[in-house]
């Protein structure tokens, strides 16, 4: 279970990084030397049972409603609490 919030950081040259950040710490791009700026929080918000960022390739439909999206790396639906079907068994 992820207890820490992850953030999307971006440099002036549009290089991006997703990571947990420490307050007051300055993050610098190793290749360009530019400072990263926090531009947003990554879903799901902490604390979460999922360690995957919400993106099309990391989500699947909830087995009970087929309307709600659930992360692929959790066993129970975060919306209804029911057990999700195995990934290979979805029709």
List, for residues 14-66, the tens digit of each pLDDT value. 999 999 999 899 999 999 999 999 999 988 888 878 878 888 888 988 867 67
Indicate the burial class of 61 (C-beta count within 10 angstroms; 0-12, 13-18, 19 or more).
Answer: middle
Q: Which pLDDT value is given to residue 9? A: 95
| Token pair 């918000």: residue | 45
- Mean local confidence (pLDDT), 78-86: 82
Phi, then psi, of 58 in degrees rounded to 5? -110, 5
Q: What is the pTM of this model?
A: 0.65
Contact 75, 63 (CB under 8 A): no
Indicate the burial class of 71 (C-beta count within 10 angstroms; 0-12, 13-18, 19 or more).
Answer: buried
């Amino acid at each position: 279970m992820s207890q820490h919030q992850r953030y999307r950081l971006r440099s002036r040259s549009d290089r991006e990084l997703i990571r947990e950040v420490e307050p007051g710490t300055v993050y610098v791009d190793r290749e360009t030397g530019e400072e990263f700026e926090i531009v947003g929080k990554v879903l799901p918000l902490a604390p979460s049972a999922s360690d995957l960022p919400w993106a099309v390739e990391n989500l699947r439909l909830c087995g009970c409603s087929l309307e709600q999206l659930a992360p692929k790396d959790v066993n129970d639906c975060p919306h209804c609490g029911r057990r999700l079907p195995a990934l290979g068994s979805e029709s």
